[in-house]
Amino acid sequence: MKLNELKHEGLKKWVEEAVALMTPDSVEICDGSKAEYDRMLKIMVEAGLGVALNPEKRPGCYWFRSDPSDVARAESRTFISSKNKDDAGPTNNWRDPVELKETMRGQYKNCMKGRVMYVIPFSMGPVGSNIAKIGVEITDSPYVVFNMHIMTRVGAKVLDVLGTNGFFVPCLHSIGKPLNPGEKDTTWPCEPDVNKKYISHFPDTYEIWSYGSGYGGNALLGKKCLALRIASVLARDEGWLAEHMLILKLTNPQGKVKYITGALPSACGKTNLAMLIPTLPGWKVETIGDDIAWMKFGEDGQLYAINPEAGFFGVAPGTSDHSNKSAMDSVKKNTIFTNTGLTEDGDVWWEQIGYPAPGNTITNWKGEKVPAPKTDKAVAGQEVAHANSRFTVPAAQCPVIANEWEDPKGVPISAFLFGGRRASTIPLVNQSKDWVHGVFMGSITGSEITAAALDLQAGSIRRDPFAMVPFCGYHMGDYFAHWLKLGKKAQDAGNGDKLPKIFFVNWFRKNAEGKFEWPGYGENSRVLSWIFDRCDGANNFIETPIGNLPKPGSISKPEGVSDETMADLIKLCVDGWKKEISDVRQNHYAKFGDKLPKELYTQLDIMEKGLNS
Ligand code: GTP
Ligand code: SPV
Ligand code: MN
């Protein structure tokens, strides 16, 4: 399709302006076809920027290696550029939109010289679903094109739904590396100076401008930029929820089904939980989504969720037949691997994959040939795969994908889980007393920082309410208020009992030796079954000042876990919680000023009183 064949005047005008600014050699409107996907891969492989893997071991799979500056989201270079600084809030980097656009226009000027501009029309959510939204990404990266093919729904059908004047989110992207005549890419093209990368969001006009990075959430603009940062603003404006949540379908041994979503920070277990293979006999988990949920109330008063994505962009290290067999089976074919190791026999390898690297040498994520590790244990500083190396795979390839994963009406949600990585204090599971208490507990959630962000100190704890701190496109005080408002609206309409129940989970408690107390992964089904029964009102809990904790014995014990450890996992750590409260008051809530809903301070006071008595 040619540029002048575009029927949507607004879209055509926007693309023409981008062409005039970025001056590519040519423009292609993407159709989402297999032929297009193959052609994009061919361009990269022929340039030496990607490797086709051994077709006997990984048919249809490719290996890529990014620039060392371009291996994760750049949080310090991610901007929420609202007209008013106060609308971005204390958890976002703010820039004045007029100044930021001027700076970025300077960078975009002629930035696609010597390259092709690809225009990717995509749908987040099943095409035509009333919860879905359309975006159009302009990019000069074939890597972005084929990853968007997997992660979103691309093509002509999207333009049909868009019509002549439909709403779309314009997503402008350039890797920031123009080519001179005769010049070719020899390595992953991007702007290697982190301080020249920009991942900018203009919430007042629902626009995204990204420059200088070709990787992950910085460049696949449908994902974190559209489906969370811009969508959270749309959701606030339109009365729905856009969340950093997996969606799973849980079936009990009697065949009864519940749908559950879970918000855990980046690299804290969403993909694993979404594909979990229960160790509890008779239980079944199927996947709807592994990273993002968009939710709207139906006319029946139930909250319905869709997965806006069409693929998984999952963390490779730690994925094994033991931890996530469904993910391992998903990535056997038609998968893109980025920044893993490459074996001598043309396969991929990463730390904790479950077996030692084959052969004598292996190519690491930096492109160096190193001795093949004899075990799959990670050696700090010598990782073969980058800790944030990832696979991109179509969701349909997941052996436990639920039949209804593409149902345009979504699935009715019974429970929300919130959590993080915490070595102490936070119990294995805990249920909120009610909606407001749940929003309060969500608002104070903390987690240890992981390798999913470039520029943060991994390991230290930060408050990451609702796992949304890096992804909320507006003031988080207003975000908490939005959650409270939706709950109140449902209750006022007589639908309070249809609201999802809210739970808090922590798979990451450690003992004195620094070992995980809870085996996690498939064993998390024991916690899911407790949650399932709790949703049905089972008498399996005790009331405490932090919420409903499991009654001793109500969570079945995995093999190898002692009675003492079980007790430790579900105990109320009074001193730890008192420290949490004072940290929340001084270092967390204080930041939000007047925008912090009063109800949340009231909850903090009630919890403090409860712990003191
Ligand atoms: P993003 O894609 O960054 O949003 O991450 P995610 O939340 O989907 O995390 P993922 O499921 O990819 O897990 C990240 C890391 O946590 C992997 O190394 C997993 O092995 C580890 N992990 C996941 N579940 C568990 C668990 O139950 N226990 C323990 N100890 N580790 C886990
Ligand atoms: C995350 O960091 O939460 C991810 C990966 O899911 S990225 O797409 O890079 O944001
Ligand atoms: Mn994520």
- Cβ atoms of residues 223 and 452 within 8 Å: no
460 pLDDT higher than 90: no
Cβ neighbour number for residue 374 with a 10 Å cutoff:
8
pLDDT band at 455 (very low <50, low <70, confident <90, very high): confident
pLDDT at 545 over 80: yes
The CB of 229 under 6 Å from ligand 2? The reply is no
Cβ of 317 less than 6 Å from ligand 1 = yes
Has residue 442 got a pLDDT over 90?
yes
**Predicted pLDDT at 454:** 79
Tokens of 343: 């074996």
- Collapsed DSSP state (helix, strand, coil) of residue 511: coil
- Site to substitute for ligand 1 among 271, 285, 313, most atoms within 8 A of C-beta: 271
**Residues 410, 295: contact at Cβ < 8 Å?**
yes
DSSP codes joined into one string, 268-305: SSHHHHHT---SSTT-EEEEEESS-EEEEE-TTS-EEE
For residue 295, the CA-to-ligand 2 centroid distance in Å is: 20
CA separation for the pair 322, 353 (Å, rounded)? 9
Residue 289 has pLDDT above 90, yes or no: yes
Q: Identify whether the C-beta of residue 282 lies closer than 8 Å to the C-beta of residue 267.
A: no
C-alpha–C-alpha distance, residues 351 and 339, integer Å:
12
| Residue closest by Cα to atom 9 of ligand 2 | 217
Q: Is 291 in the pocket of ligand 2 (CB under 6 A)?
A: yes
Q: Residue 551: is its pLDDT beyond 90?
A: yes
Task: Please tell me the distance from the alpha carbon of residue 470 to that of residue 224, in angstroms, as a whole number.
Answer: 9
Cβ-based neighbour number of residue 305 at 10 Å:
26
Tell me what pLDDT residue 498 has: 98
Name the amino acid, one letter, at 366. Answer: K
Query: Does residue 456 carry a pLDDT above 80?
Result: no
Residue 461: predicted pLDDT:
84
Compute CA distances 204 → 67, 89, 210, whole Å.
33, 14, 17
Q: How many CB atoms lie within 10 A of CB 236?
A: 21
Is the beta carbon of 291 within 6 A of some atom in ligand 1? yes
Residues 545/572, Cβ–Cβ less than 8 Å: yes
Q: Tell me: pLDDT of 433 over 80.
A: yes
Spatial contact of 261 and 305, defined as CB atoms under 8 Å apart: yes
DSSP letter string, 295-325: EEE-TTS-EEEE---SEEEEE-TT--HHHHH
* Torsion of the alpha carbons at 436, 441, 444 and 445, rounded to the nearest 10: -140
Rounded to whole angstroms, what are the CA distances from 462 to 270, 378, 446, 447?
A: 18, 24, 5, 6
Record the pTM.
0.98
Q: Name the residue with the closest Cα to ligand 1, atom 32.
A: 269
Count of other CB atoms within 10 angstroms of residue 519: 15
Runs of H (alpha helix) within 23-109: 34-46, 97-108
Ligand 3 centre to CA of 245 (Å) is 8
Percent helix, strand, coil in the chain (nearest 5)? 35, 25, 45
Q: Kindly give the distance from the C-alpha atom of residue 30 to the centroid of ligand 1, in angstroms, as a whole number.
A: 33
Kindly write down the DSSP assignment for every residue of 369-399, as one continuous string. EEEPPSS----TT--SS-TT-EEEEEGGG-T
Alpha-carbon distance of 600 to 210, in angstroms, equals 35
268 catalytic per annotation: yes
Would you give the DSSP letter of residue 587? I
pLDDT at 449: 87
Strands 369-371 and 361-363: antiparallel
Distance CA 411, CA 376 (A): 39
CA distance 316 to 363: 16
The whole-angstrom separation of Cα 383 and Cα 387 is 8
Q: How many angstroms separate the CA atoms of 249 and 307, rounded?
A: 12
- Percent of the chain topping pLDDT 70: 100
Cα–ligand 2 centroid distance for 272 (angstroms): 14
Residue nearest to atom 29 of ligand 1 (CA): 520
- The per-residue pLDDT for range 61-88, each reduced to its tens digit, is 999 999 999 999 999 999 999 999 999 9
What pLDDT was estimated at residue 255? Answer: 98
Residue 506 Cβ < 6 Å to ligand 1? no
CA distance 472 to 610: 31
Q: Is the CB of 223 under 6 A from ligand 2?
A: yes
Confidence of residue 470 (pLDDT cuts 50, 70, 90): very high
| Alpha carbon distance 381, 388 (integer Å) | 14
Q: Atom 7 in ligand 2: which residue has the minimum CA distance?
A: 217
Query: 240 CB under 6 A from ligand 2?
Result: no
Query: What six digits make up the tokens of 315?
Result: 């963390």
Mean pLDDT in residue range 383-410? 98
Sign of CA dihedral 394, 395, 400, 403: negative
Q: How far apart are CA 297 and CA 499, in angstroms?
A: 10
Distance from the CA of 338 to the center of ligand 1, in angstroms? 17
Q: β-pairing, 169-174 with 133-139?
A: parallel
Could you tell which of 313, 421, 447, 468 is best to mutate to test the pocket of ligand 2, judged by most ligand atoms within 8 Å of the CB?
A: 313
Q: How far apart are CA 30 and CA 155, in angstroms?
A: 6
Structure tokens at 454: 């470039």
User: Strand 93-94 to strand 78-80: parallel, antiparallel, or no bridges (unpaired)?
Assistant: parallel
How close is the Cα of 261 to the center of ligand 2, in Å? 17
- pLDDT at residue 212 in the model: 98
For ligand 3, the distance from its centroid to the CA atom of residue 270, given in whole angstroms, is 8
Within a 10 A sphere around the Cβ of 507, how many other Cβ atoms? 25
Checking if the pLDDT of 140 tops 80, the result is yes
Q: How confident is the model at residue 127 (pLDDT cuts 50, 70, 90)?
A: very high
Q: Which ligand is nearest to the CA of 525?
A: 1
| Residue of the CA atom closest to atom 22 of ligand 1 | 269
The two tokens of residue 245 are 């949540």
Residue 602 pLDDT class (50, 70, 90 cuts): very high
Average of pLDDT values for 236-261? 98
Minimum-distance ligand 1 atom for the alpha carbon of 319: 20
Nearest CA to ligand 1 atom 2: 314
Ligand 3 centre to CA of 603 (Å) is: 29
Q: Whose CA is nearest to atom 8 of ligand 2?
A: 217
Catalytic annotation, pick one of 30, 171, 225, 268: 268
pLDDT of residue 468: 98
Residue 454: alpha-carbon gap to chain centroid = 15
> What's the mean pLDDT in 228-232?
98
Ligand nearest to the CA of 229: 2
For residue 452, give the ligand 2 atom closest to its CA: 2
